[in-house]
């Protein structure tokens, strides 16, 4: 297992994926969209470890959850699940939309 203290300041795609414990394909997709700070140099990606750490600290958890939930968007149970979550919180869907 890699530790932050032994990682170089500039990480490759493979090192970043290992550091974040995510598949390389996910890291590349998120970086390509500009959601993770990194630079593509010809056919290689490079990431500043400090920028990755800051991205982790500053990422809006709601945005991250919504991105992850996007994979479930065609799941027919999502609307029931969402309604159940808001009912448990004592809030309505209308209140959620007003917060957005």
Across the chain, how many H-helices and E-strands are there? 6, 3
Q: Is 51 exposed, middle or buried (0-12, 13-18, 19+ CB in 10 A)?
A: middle
How many C-beta neighbours within 10 Å does residue 49 have? 16
Is the pLDDT score of 24 beyond 90? yes
Residue-level pLDDT at 50: 95
Greater confidence, 94 or 99? 94
Q: Considering the chain, what is the average pLDDT of its residues?
A: 81
pLDDT digits (tens, 9 = 90+) for 58-97: 866 556 666 666 666 666 777 777 778 888 888 876 665 6
- pLDDT by residue (tens digit) across 6-15? 889 999 999 9
């Amino acid at each position: 297992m890699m530790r932050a203290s032994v990682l170089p300041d500039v990480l490759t795609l493979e090192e970043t994926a290992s550091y974040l414990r995510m598949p390389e394909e996910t890291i590349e997709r998120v970086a390509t969209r500009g959601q993770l700070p990194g630079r593509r140099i010809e056919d290689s990606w490079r990431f500043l470890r400090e920028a990755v750490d800051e991205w982790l600290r500053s990422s809006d958890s709601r945005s991250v959850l919504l991105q992850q939930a996007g994979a479930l968007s065609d799941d027919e149970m999502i609307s029931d699940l969402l309604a159940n979550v808001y009912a448990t919180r004592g809030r309505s869907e209308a209140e959620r939309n007003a917060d957005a």
